[in-house]
Amino acid sequence: MGVVVGRDGLAGKQCLPLVTPSTLMLSSKGRVKLCQRPSFFVSGAPAHLAGYLAPEYRAGKIYSDTEFEKMWIFGLGETLKRATLTSHVATSRLSGELCHVLSDMTKTQPSSRSSLMHLLDVSQ
């Protein structure tokens, strides 16, 4: 299972590094797909979704691949964290390791946030 998103976004447009429950879809083959509305490419996230967007994101700024990767990781971590914390029963069953990974994915300082290589290493 994997999610692949290029920095150039879909259809050659700059893609907003936003991952929310409504942008993730599961295909019939079990693959995770990221689906964003075209309005997210330039206009930015609606106010009710801003909490899923990395705090360092600024519309119109050019980011390095590493900076962009860290913003995607923040959004995915925030989405997974909120999904796992939706019920008390689910929360009480979370492993300490998962809580630690989600916390590392959603650190507000990008330099402290997990990298993709770190996350791939954790999953092995």
Instruction: State the DSSP string of 3-62.
Output: ----TT-GGGSPPP----TTTEEE-TTS-EEE---GGGTTS---GGGGGGS-TT--TT--
Burial level of 121, CB count in 10 A (0-12/13-18/19+)?
exposed
Residue 92 has pLDDT above 70, yes or no: no
Confidence tier at 11 by pLDDT (50, 70, 90) = very low
The whole-angstrom separation of Cα 99 and Cα 80 is 10
Domains of the chain: 10-122 (1.10.510.10)
> In this model, does residue 108 exceed pLDDT 50?
yes
Span 100-124, average pLDDT:
89
Mean pLDDT of all residues in 52-69: 91
Q: State residue 77's pLDDT score.
A: 94
Q: Report the mean per-residue pLDDT for the chain.
A: 79
